[in-house]
Amino acid sequence: MDNVILIGFMGSGKTTVGLRLSYRLRRPVIDTDKEIEKEEKRTISELFAIDGEEYFRARETQCLQKLLKNTGSYIISVGGGLPLRKENRLFLHELGQVFYLRADAETIYERIKGDKTRPLLQCSDPKTKIRTMIEQRDAYYREAADVVLQVDGKSFEQILDEIEAQVQENGKCRQ
Ligand code: S3P
């Protein structure tokens, strides 16, 4: 399939890059967190608090299964924990070209400190939690990705240019 998929840790820029890429490439954008919130008619925080993380993870997998039935080419940004399930990594590969927006723990912390919308980071020491989680997740993100983009210190324009070049390259290979 011909979608462009953005994965990476919370705060790595997937949502913003997804929106801006959608303008550039003239393709609609889908965000799995937003899809789930729309279907559930409640926020991710409410969902975690009431039904727990496992329920949310199952909803993420369902969301991917639904996307696999779509035709057309989309920009898809996914929740930071979605690539942790093996079946999800396989689904991501089936969906299209997967970009891992990779950022250091310091970059992430600076971007999302004080954010209350991410249930997994509501703890006394979010900085350490971010570092530990990135260490645990990096290998899964790499396994899911076709392209790894280090984003620290880069402007959105630079990131978009790099993704666009790779998308074009991939398009040529597919012809
Ligand atoms: C999560 C990331 C969040 C959201 C949920 C869990 C994670 O999405 O899906 O809070 O496990 O990393 P963003 O990466 O868009 O913040």
pLDDT in tens, 93-134: 999 999 999 999 999 999 998 888 898 888 899 999 999 999
The CATH fold assigned to 3-160 is: Rossmann fold (3.40.50)
The residue whose C-alpha atom lies closest to atom 12 belonging to ligand 1 is 80
Kindly state the helix (H) or strand (E) to which residue 98 belongs, with its residue range: strand 96-102
> Within 10 A of 127 (CB to CB), how many other CB atoms are there?
15
> For residue 52, is pLDDT > 80?
yes
pTM of the model: 0.96
CB-facing half-sphere around the CA of 77: CA atoms within 13 A? 23
pLDDT at 105: 96
- CA distances, 62 to each of 45, 70, 89, 166 (Å): 19, 13, 13, 28
Residue 127 C-alpha to ligand 1 middle, in angstroms?
16
The residue whose C-alpha atom lies closest to atom 9 belonging to ligand 1 is 79
Pocket test for ligand 1, best of 35, 113, 118 (most atoms within 8 A of CB): 118
Residues 127-166 pLDDT 10s: 999 999 999 999 999 999 999 999 999 999 999 999 999 9
Residues whose beta carbon lies within 6 Å of some atom of ligand 1: 10, 14-15, 33, 44, 79-81, 118-120
